[in-house]
Structure 1
Amino acid sequence: MPDGLTPDQAAFWAAFLASPTAPPDAGARFHSVFAIGSGSDAGAALILSGVKTATSSLPAEFEGTTPPIPGSLSLLTGAAGRPMGIIETLSITALPLAQMDDAFRIAYAEWPDQASFERGMIEWYQGLDPNFTADTPLLAERFRLIWPND
């Protein structure tokens, strides 16, 4: 069992591992507990509905650990760390906001157009790093929900 999980998260992870969906090496592929923004149910619902299939992070968010790699599995949480799903990283690329295209924005699923995407991303990331600009490298991640898969 991965370290640092709450009892609810550990039970959710164990249920996933016991499901027919879990790959045989799922335990070795666990990366982290993952939340959208500050961990809202609304952000998790976008993923659970299949609408949101991309996210991003500042490289500094992985200080002391490694970022996910393709094939990594992460436990998706909502409000208060409540477990809601398991996602698999498909790709992760260092990319500044200025180079994120409309296809990535659509997969991000949080802003209706490229201009609001850029404004929203700058506002969010400047809250984490006041020096953030559209040219600051981010880790642009594509993922898919693998459980629950109904």
Structure 2
Amino acid sequence: MSDRPSVLFVCVHNAGRSQMAAGWLRHLAGDAVEVRSAGSIPGDQVNPAAVAAMAEVGIDISDQRPKVLTTDAVEASDVVITMGCGDACPIFPGKRYLDWALEDPAGKGVDSVRPIRDEIEGRIRGLLAELQAPGVSTTS
């Protein structure tokens, strides 16, 4: 069992919002937070517009692949953040659940994905402040 907090991001396809959120959290928290992402119906690949938008801010998510949501992933996480996956996410007592209503970047170009990316960044910085993980700066 790890002392560091663990966060699971869940969206339907695990190809846009959850991948960008995971990328932001890894970038800002480093090893201080364990990061997972998954989808209730995973896509074939991460949305290329999401990859491009994240690359613009120096975060490479091009090596990520959509993963299926498992009960084990939820059970192993302290915080579960859903982004439009509805009732597909299992609920376990003692977990913290947040639902972030974010626009789905599916089918959108990079110009439309940038504001979603930026909104996710703000939410991740707020989450880090709440988690107060050791060694994490929310201002970098």
TM-score, normalised by the number of residues in structure 2: 0.28
Larger radius of gyration: 1
Q: Report which of the two has the higher share of strand.
A: 1
TM-score, normalised by the number of residues in structure 1: 0.27
